[in-house]
Chain A
């Protein structure tokens, strides 16, 4: 069944992102194109509801809603991991920023004290 391959590949890609994920320009491009694609597909699915079921049947899923649910699960995983990477990067920056401020303050205190 095609859907099994697609879902396993999607989950494997999520695991790869979790372990090796780096925020690159290529990643940004992919995120943007995927978002754009998702919006367009969403519009198509709303205008032609029958196509979702047709696509689902083509990849080996019984109902269109099931396909939507599967795609949603994998997407959610990707978004969560990407957000986590982003937060970790922000935390690294915060730590460095706060440390610089703390060291500077200590130096100022030292100077005031010595005068």
Chain B
């Protein structure tokens, strides 16, 4: 699906704002922000109550930093970043991006271009269409199970349920509000897309699992916590 990016796409990328939720990422955040800024004009970093110098480093690297006074969870940080991004009336696309450097900026740029070319509201990154460098087989099978769970519960034919790389068009970003503030927001996004029948495509992404991202990543058993969150949330939403 990768299309050659043209001059027209430069103006599209200029209207895209990258949102990066971060929590104690001092070792990598500077490089991540600098890399993102090579392609994107605006980067909003949300510091979710880090205890290290994450916020200062991100600011020094050229990001617009919003600091949560206390730790609120990744979903909450993402929503804060999206709101900040939308304050700029020029923002047409919001890109969600992980702070640990596992995503590729070129993928993000391709996804914004795809959102523009295909005129879809949401573009979801998929590791299974792309490449998972350095992922353990255990991690792969866990992610596959998550995919089956998501397909069964939302009816969406997605190939990856928990990818942090997404592109949201302004109209969808404005309506996105999480009821789950922690890690379960990734699945919540998908159920919101299914509920509102937003148009979406998946885009292959390369995820690089480094020693750092593996250490920062979620424990496998947290998947069960997410299932609990979602089940309860869905039953409640049905009332």
Contacts and interface: CB of A to CB of B under 8 A. Distances in A.
Nearest to A106: B66
Contacts of B235: 19-20
B76 A95 contact: yes
Interface of A: 18-20, 91-92, 94-95, 98-99, 101-103, 105-106, 110
A98 B72 contact: yes
Interface in B167-200: 179, 181
B64 A106 contact: yes
Contact of B69 (A18, A92, A102): A102
Contacts of B181: 91-92, 95
Interface string B33-71: 000000000000010000000000000000011111110
Interface residues of B, number: 22
Contacts of A95: 72-73, 76, 181
Contacts of B80: 99, 102-103
A94 B236 contact: no
A18 B67 CA distance: 33
Interface of B: 46, 64-70, 72-73, 76, 79-80, 83-84, 87, 179, 181, 232, 235-236, 239
A58 to B, nearest CB: 37
Q: 9 closest pairs, A vs B, by CB?
A: A106-B66, A99-B80, A95-B76, A19-B235, A102-B66, A20-B239, A102-B68, A95-B72, A98-B69
Contacts of B46: 102
A10 to B, nearest CB: 20
